[in-house]
A and B are shown apart, each in its own frame.
Chain A
């Protein structure tokens, strides 16, 4: 049973436009959410996070939105750049300090930025 779901395995966006990556979760105990970016042959890199006490967190071109009632979060990248082409993982935890179950990841969305 997948507790964190990324329903789009891939997404293609034109350079300069907005990229929106979506993530849904089922475990109501999750209260801390993260996005990671992964290039081939490299480990995931932390991108941005959000606590459940917030509904938005912004860092430069990256904004994460959290809708707790819908158990849904999204990552917006504006404007999209060629270097953003990567696999993006959504992850969740019941405790930002480190839950007993570690991080629960989605299966990832492969973002392709078209020139």
Chain B
């Protein structure tokens, strides 16, 4: 069974640009959660999608948005990039909601903002 995949793995952008990251969950998983990992703040919850609907949202500005498609694949978008957005962005999938002991993480997308 293929794991959670994230593309691209590495990305370099400049301030003011926007970026779209993609996450393909494990087949059969309908819940996708996104997290941001930085050295200073650790892992922080961004949002969770289930059946194409955003169910939960963390404490991030509106520049961070996401969506989920009918095949459960999810994208997150960050507009007007800032230097502080440089981070590892992780997505995690689970079958029917973020049952945390059944949640599987992807390898992450490393975003660098210059």
Chain B at the A interface: mostly helix, strand, loop or mixed?
strand
User: When the two chains form their complex, are residues B42 and A34 in contact, meaning their CB atoms are under 8 A apart?
Assistant: no
Which B residues are CB-close (under 8 A) to A96?
A: 99-101
Interface size class of B (residues with CB under 8 A): 20 to 34
| A-B Cβ contacts below 8 A, count | 74
Partner of B56, one of A41, A46, A100: A100
User: When the two chains form their complex, are residues A44 and B100 in contact, meaning their CB atoms are under 8 A apart?
Assistant: no
Identify which of residues 78-108 in chain A touch chain B, using a CB-to-CB cut-off of 8 Å. Answer: 89, 91, 93, 96-108
Partner of A91, one of B47, B48, B90, B100: B100
Q: Provided the pairs A93-B100, A98-B48, A102-B33 are in contact, do residues A43 and B42 lie with their beta carbons within 8 angstroms?
A: no
User: When the two chains form their complex, are residues B58 and A105 in contact, meaning their CB atoms are under 8 A apart?
Assistant: no
Q: How far is the CB of A37 from chain B (nearest CB, A)?
A: 11
Q: Which residue of A lies closest to B37 (CB)?
A: A105
- Cα–Cα, bound, A36→B43 (Å): 11
Which B residues are CB-close (under 8 A) to A102?
A: 33, 35, 45-48, 56, 58, 98
User: When the two chains form their complex, are residues A98 and B105 in contact, meaning their CB atoms are under 8 A apart?
Assistant: no
Q: Which residue of A lies closest to B90 (CB)?
A: A43
Question: 0/1 per residue, B19-40, Cβ < 8 Å to A?
Answer: 0000000000001010100000
Which B residues are CB-close (under 8 A) to A89?
A: 42-43
Give me the interface of A with B, judged by CB distance under 8 Å.
32, 34, 36, 41-46, 49, 89, 91, 93, 96-108
Give me the interface of B with A, judged by CB distance under 8 Å.
4, 31, 33, 35, 41-48, 55-56, 58, 90, 92, 97-108
